Structure 1
Amino acid sequence: MLPFLISCYHNNNPLTNQVSPKTVTCSCSLVEKIWGINELLKTGPKNYIKYTDEYQTRSHINFDTGTITIETIANEKDVTINLRKAIINTLLMYINENKQEISTNNLILQKEPFLYGQVIDHYNKPIRWSWRATNFANYLLKTNLRMRHSTLHDIWFITINMVPQHINKRANHYVTIVSNEARKYKIDQSLILAIIQTESSFNPYAISHANAVGLMQIMQNSAGRDVFKMKGKCGQPSRKYLLNPKNNINIGTAYLAMLQNNYLSGIIDLTSRRYVMIVAYNSGVSSALKVFSSNPNKALNMINNLKPDEVYHILSTQHPSAESRNYLNKVNALQQIYGK
């Protein structure tokens, strides 16, 4: 898993980086001071962290493993109050730019809460309304409340498991957008879906340690800038722009089209070209071609003289980055699944 990027927001909006007058953005050092250095959690492409109650309570959604952990270091008399509130707010969070909470920071894509269908209560029902979320929170506090010790605190926590198909539930939010962009740019939608799952596990809040943003983990000053230039726009997309799922998928798919039709168009075999595209999306065109030769033209000639399986083998075994080798393997496997 990639290193986390700290995201210690307290009712502020990461889309605009604006903080409400009643709140202050929390630094890593402050979280370390409050929770202890060994308890520092940072958000990443597949992890969402929200701190509340003056940073004494936090919600951690792991979109990859499908687990939600709600924790507090509050005084024992406030444990139940803090956890109940955090459980309810997490279960009912929306993707809605008109809301002021950290949990509602993108364009609305559906009427249900974002986690609707990804979590079911003790009656095996999806959670849409406040009364059901409250009942489930009370049930969890009676049956699942646990405590562990850290260097500085006793930490009380609740763990909630998402449904087994939680990734597919999130993917369904974006299938229409992916389908439209795939047709527009003539990119296989199975490739787009495989890249989104690999990059973010369909987490719309995803921001990496390197500031790659959104579902397809777009770098503002590289892929974002290239696509803007191709579209005749100046500068680069803002973080707010890229945290809009439709914009993000548009930019990511347009960049795949640039790889396919421009940067790597010299690769004749379409399967070989796709393998190089996948690696290039992760580590850049130059990095992908250098596996074959430091001279780009020679690299293209070498690839064209190899069978697709040979191209795949070389990229997956000889690329200097283990991350890129694993990325190719994972995206390729997922694309075959989505293709079916």
Structure 2
Amino acid sequence: MKLFKKILLVAAAAIILLLGYFVLKRGYTFFMKRAYPLHYTQIVAKEAAANQLDPALVYSVMKAESNFDPNAQSHAGAIGLMQMTPDTFEWVQTKLKSDTKYSNIDLYTPEVNIRYGCKLLSLLFERYSEKATALSAYNAGIGTVNNWLKNPDISKDGAVLEYIPYEETRNYVDAVLKNYVNYRKLYQFNNKGEMIDD
């Protein structure tokens, strides 16, 4: 009888532990999805697919740049969800053939900002083989990063940055890459950039 009671207690403890694990896991996932949300999903899916980008990366950049605030504006004059400067916006418009000519005010429109932000990311990933280098160029500019890559103290091979000289850019790249790890853990996307329900 004592052995039976012990077996029952062990079984009950195991069930309680198992239930606790699932409750904690579900709570953790709920909390993390609140911290790393998906906004503008239809636009992100469309533009990520059109530019052959991982949607998780697009969300990671938006979270780091504006925390999904379409009205965000930086001290450097970058605007909107993906924080594009008017000069960069002008340049990307020459790369993305469109019948519509947009003005700076259009950067506050999520569809426009995400479309051109994704195009910029795509251009940078075509130019730079390393994710951290491309993200550095998104933050500090192509000219700055090209100069870093020419400096043997910063880049031994002209492709990989041994370190990022600007603290702001270093922190930005770290934030985007951390976001990216979390978005990849939390969500799965199909080849159309749409989220796969789990």
Q: State the secondary structure of the residue aligned to 1:320.
A: coil
Tell whether 2:72 aligns with 1:206: yes
For residue 172 of structure 1, report the CA deviation from its aligned partner.
3.1
In 2 relative to 1, CA 204–167 (structure 1 residues): closer, same or farther, beyond 3 Å? farther
The aligned counterpart of 1:231 is 96
Q: In the TM superposition, what is the alpha-carbon distance from 1:247 to its structure 2 partner?
A: 1.0
| Deviation, structure 1 residue 326 | 0.7
Q: Cα distance 1:239–1:167, how it changes in 2: closer, same or farther (>3 A)?
A: farther
Contact 1:220 1:236 in 2 (8 A): no
- The question of whether the paired residues in 1 share the 8 Å contact of 2:51 and 2:119 is answered with yes
Residue 177 (structure 1) shift = 1.4
Deviation digits for residues 135-181 of structure 1, max 9, x if unmatched?
xxxxxxxxxxxxxxxxxxxxxxxxxxxx996554xx43312211211
Over the residues paired in the alignment, what is the CA RMSD in angstroms? 2.7
| Structure 2 residues without counterparts, runs of 5 or longer | 1-30, 186-198
% identical aligned pairs: 28
Aligned 8 A contact 1:212 1:220 in 2: yes
- Are 1:282 and 2:139 counterparts? yes
For residue 292 of structure 1, report the CA deviation from its aligned partner.
3.4
Other-structure match for 2:183: 338
Tell me if 1:325 matches 2:175: no
The one-letter amino acid paired with 1:240 is I
Return the alpha-carbon distance in structure 2 between the equivalents of residues 216 and 324 of structure 1: 15
- After TM superposition, the score normalised by the length of structure 1 is 0.41
Specify the code of the residue in structure 1 equivalent to 2:182.
I
Secondary structure at 2:82's aligned position in 1? coil
Whichever residue aligns with residue 276 of structure 1, its letter is: T
The answer for the alignment partner of 2:157 in structure 1 is 302
Summarize the alignment of residues 191-202 of structure 1 with structure 2, pairs less than 5 Å apart. Answer: 191-202=57-68
Structure 1 distance, partners of 2:169, 2:175, is 10
Distance 1:325 1:235, change over 3 A: farther
The letter for the 2-side match of 1:200 is S
Contact kept in structure 1, 2:66 and 2:80, CA below 8 Å: yes
**TM-score for both structures, normalised by structure 2:** 0.68
More helix by share: 2
CA shift for structure 1 position 333: 0.9
Of 193, 201, 221, the residue aligned with 2:87 is: 221
Gaps of 5+ in 1: 1-162, 268-272, 305-310
From the superposition, tell whether residues 205 and 213 of structure 1 become closer, same or farther in structure 2 (CA, over 3 Å): same
